[in-house]
Amino acid sequence: MFKRTSAHRYAPSPVNGIRPSANHIQNGALAVQNGRAVAAIINSLLELPFKIKIATQDYHPLDHCSFASQHADAKPFTSSLTITNPEASDGSSAESQEITLWPDHCVQGTPGCEFIPELNLSLIDRVVRKGEDPRVEAYSGFGPEFRAPAVAMTCLTDLLREHDIKQVVVCGLALDYCVRCTAIDSAKQGFQTTVVEDATKAVNQDESALLRVRNELNAHSVKVSQSTSGEFRSLLGLSRDGSTA
Ligand SMILES: [Zn+2]
């Protein structure tokens, strides 16, 4: 049985960023090949003694800027669009971001934004919604990439700080988009951050693309680990068989 680690030990205090929704599994609008397979591993992670377990949820209005349907002649998956920070006071020097355009997905109030039923939602403490502002894309669970000024940030940073979190563990879909951006944002904000790679799946599963993602994560001081690795188990103060070390 897993037991909570006691306070005087090296106490892990991570959060899981979990986001396999109906639109991200094999037959959904944003299909991630074998995306459904990660649910079992995520459920096993949710049994571990984390201080708080948070799921992030893509939650778009119908007119979201990342939907190819909102742009003339745009094609999902292959078209891109450059957006600028809509809150910048000086438009000429505003931050810009090139975003990929997708099919309509995770639309508020539709089955596409629901978590897949395989996930054990009863083990999740909080759901943080993102992507609600139609003007900006938000891969990261912390909010859109624009920070000068910040636009439509989620409550995730406040939630982590309120719970005195020092370490963050990220998993879910997709590794090369939301997991990558959430993990990098987490590290930038000073949290020791680990991505559990076998609890993720990438949109682009070519080995060279996966290597680029791993390298980028490492360059931002994000650890990439496996759920069964000794390194990950010891991070949580667990022995390999799951008992507390
Ligand atoms: Zn989205």
Domain CATH number, residue 60: 3.40.50.850
CA atoms within 13 Å, Cβ hemisphere of 112: 19
What distance in angstroms lies between residue 192's CA and the mean position of ligand 1's atoms?
Answer: 26
Give 208 Cα–ligand 1 centroid separation in angstroms: 24
User: What is the structure's pLDDT at 37?
Assistant: 84
Predicted TM-score (pTM) of the model is: 0.87
CA of 60 to the centre of ligand 1 (A): 7
Ligand 1 midpoint to CA 112 (Å): 11
Looking at the domain assignment, is residue 178 inside a domain?
yes
Cα(66) to centroid of ligand 1, in Å? 7
The position carrying tokens 């010891």 is 234
Which pLDDT score, from 0 to 100, does residue 11 have?
A: 36
pLDDT beyond 50 at 10: no
Local confidence band at 23 (pLDDT 50, 70, 90 cut-offs)? low
Q: Is residue 245 part of a domain?
A: no
Q: For the chain, what is the domain count?
A: 1
Task: Identify whether 1 is part of a domain.
Answer: no
Cα-to-centroid distance, 132 and ligand 1 (Å): 9
Q: Which of 178, 154, 148 has its CA nearest to residue 85?
A: 148
What average pLDDT does range 127-156 have in this prediction? 95
CA of 164 to the centre of ligand 1 (A): 29
Task: Report whether 197 contacts 225 (CB < 8 A).
Answer: yes
Residue 39 lies in a domain: yes
- 7 part of a folded domain: no
Tell me the sheet residues that pair with 133: none
User: To which H or E segment does residue 184 belong?
Assistant: helix 180-188
Q: Is residue 10 part of a domain?
A: no
Report the DSSP beta bridge partners of residue 200: 172
Q: Which domain holds residue 220?
A: 16-235
Quick check: 35 and 72 in contact, CB under 8 A? Answer: no
106 Rama sector, left if φ>0, alpha if ψ -120 to 50, beta otherwise: left
Question: Which stretch of 5-19, 139-153, 229-243 has the lowest confidence by average pLDDT?
Answer: 5-19
Mean pLDDT of 223-243: 81
* Alpha-carbon Rg for the chain in angstroms: 18
Task: Measure 84 CA to ligand 1 centroid, in angstroms.
Answer: 17
Distance 75 CA to ligand 1 centre (A): 15
Calculate how far, in angstroms, residue 230's C-alpha sits from the geometric centre of ligand 1.
34
How far is ligand 1, taken at its centre, from the CA of residue 199, in Å?
20
Bridge partner list, 147? 150
Spatial separation of the C-alpha atoms in residues 203 and 226, rounded to whole Å: 19
Using an 8 Å Cβ cutoff, are 127 and 152 in contact? no
Question: Ligand 1 centre and the CA of 106: distance in Å?
Answer: 6
Q: Would 44 be classed as within a structural domain?
A: yes
Tell how far the Cα of 139 is from the centroid of ligand 1, in angstroms: 7
Tracing tokens 């910048």 back to the chain, one arrives at: 88
* Dist CA 138 CA 141 (whole Å): 7
pLDDT tier at 112, thresholds 50, 70, 90: confident
- The answer, yes or no, to whether residue 236 has pLDDT greater than 50, is yes
Rounded to the nearest angstrom, the distance between the alpha carbon of 9 and the centre of ligand 1 is: 39
Residue 9 has pLDDT above 50, yes or no: no
| Ligand 1 midpoint to CA 69 (Å) | 13
| pLDDT classification of 239: cutoffs 50, 70, 90 | low
